Structure 1
């Protein structure tokens, strides 16, 4: 048995050589294990904690660089909490900007329209858009059955099964309906690029986009033009703005609006035909 204070000190020491924010993650693990908030943790430093076996199992997993989110099966996105597990990409804060971009370019939140998301992953994009667009319907596609399983859990958690339909398939192959708005956070990292070791736990087919990296984005652009999809918002790599602009050079469209992420890197675009 140990006190909260002693546990925080011990977990921090165990994680310190492996991760950069050891003291903060020690707090997060203990809050998760005890089911308490930060205020409770700070004001109960001398409280005795029993049954710490599961807590230390989580710490051991984290010491091997397994992502915190996969260990706790929780991830925060756009101020909401979602279920996450291996098989689905862990949502990044910059992807919240993709939601903002859609709302910016289609401000009619009461519109009765059909969104399609390619690469649904954990479902966070379609779910957040469905919470904003109360009358919209969604078709969410992924090539991974594991990702669709995670997305299904989140969709059910938010009671959105009647508005978000999941389909297994590549890109837009399983979607035959008219599409009003296409949205995607596709794989866009160049094959062979060495990534941080914690990314080894994440699905590689959700990270790498081909020999150049932008191949999937270009395939989606081809579909947008071929199927006359009026709105397309997409996340991209920081170095792909020029390539995408060049790819659309001979195309007629109304606007091509790029946006930056929190670190001021180019991060995505909205194409309006």
Structure 2
């Protein structure tokens, strides 16, 4: 069967579910990943044939898309801050907003000559820690996560991106003290249970719940713990960075101030939503 015919089947089966443009994007992500066939290649060579085994691969991907499995899990990787990251069911898929958090840190520290120490709490794929290690040449980077399987993926990502990160299996809620750091950053779970109805089905069905959700009665549990720990181990020229729930920006700012931070800045993302905080002594 020609690949062009299968493209038509993708649109017939998925357009109502995702929209034509999204389906086109999915299709070419799959053909490039599995067969090395780009959008341009198919436009120039419209009669590309797939073998039976290749057809089986692409139809399996179609079935998983129909079941709302994220495309990143199907191809097993995603892009973040110009780097490739392996992802699987143990890891949250990195979001573009988190790239903005990384950029904020780099804007503040990329010209600092001193050797920096960095801690990423709840590292997941390692996207924040690895991106910082890649772009802050002299930085010593530690990264904590509570899940052993998640850390295995993060370690593989560090190797493939040729950076050194010290990964630590640890539950931050059980930590009583931290060593001194110049930068502490975290994108902890922050989606309240009451907000689940706003989430896309592919996220609810496939991404790890413990990396996303917190209870309605204590939604800032991770922020409070991390802010208290950070206040004891950051110096005057250091900073704590959070990705935050846009609906709880005021509460998160007040929490950081209650923990002792004197200068707390809320930053909007490119869509104008309050999604990041920086807290300094």
Do the two structures share a fold, i.e. TM-score over 0.5? yes
The DSSP-based 3-state class of the residue aligned with 1:239 is helix
Q: Distance in 2 between matches of 1:249 and 1:137?
A: 28
Q: Look up the match of 2:139.
A: 136
Q: Look up the match of 2:6.
A: 7
Q: Look up the match of 1:55.
A: 58
Q: Look up the match of 2:191.
A: 189
1:123 aligns with 2:126: yes
| Structure 1: stretches of 5+ with no match in the other structure | none
RMSD, matched Cα: 1.9
- Kindly indicate whether the alpha-carbon contact (under 8 Å) linking 1:185 and 1:235 is maintained by their aligned counterparts in 2: yes
Structure 1 runs (4+) greater than 4 angstroms displaced: 249-252
Provide Cα deviations, 1:26-82, integer angstroms capped at 9, x if missing partner. 222222221233321221222222231111111111110010000100101112221
The DSSP-based 3-state class of the residue aligned with 1:193 is helix
Check 1:158–1:107 CA distance in 2 against 1; reply closer, same or farther (3 A cut).
closer
Q: Distance in 2 between matches of 1:205 and 1:240?
A: 19
| Structure 2: stretches of 5+ with no match in the other structure | none
Deviates more, 1:248-257 or 1:32-41: 248-257
Aligned residues: 270
TM-score by length of 2: 0.89
CA deviation after TM superposition for structure 1 residue 108, in Å: 2.7
- Kindly indicate whether the alpha-carbon contact (under 8 Å) linking 2:256 and 2:264 is maintained by their aligned counterparts in 1: no
Among 96, 110, 120, which residue is 1:107 paired with? 110
Q: Look up the match of 1:33.
A: 34
Q: Distance in 2 between matches of 1:145 and 1:251?
A: 30
CA deviation after TM superposition for structure 1 residue 174, in Å: 8.6
CA deviation after TM superposition for structure 1 residue 251, in Å: 5.6
Q: Look up the match of 1:202.
A: 207
* Larger helix share, 1 or 2: 2
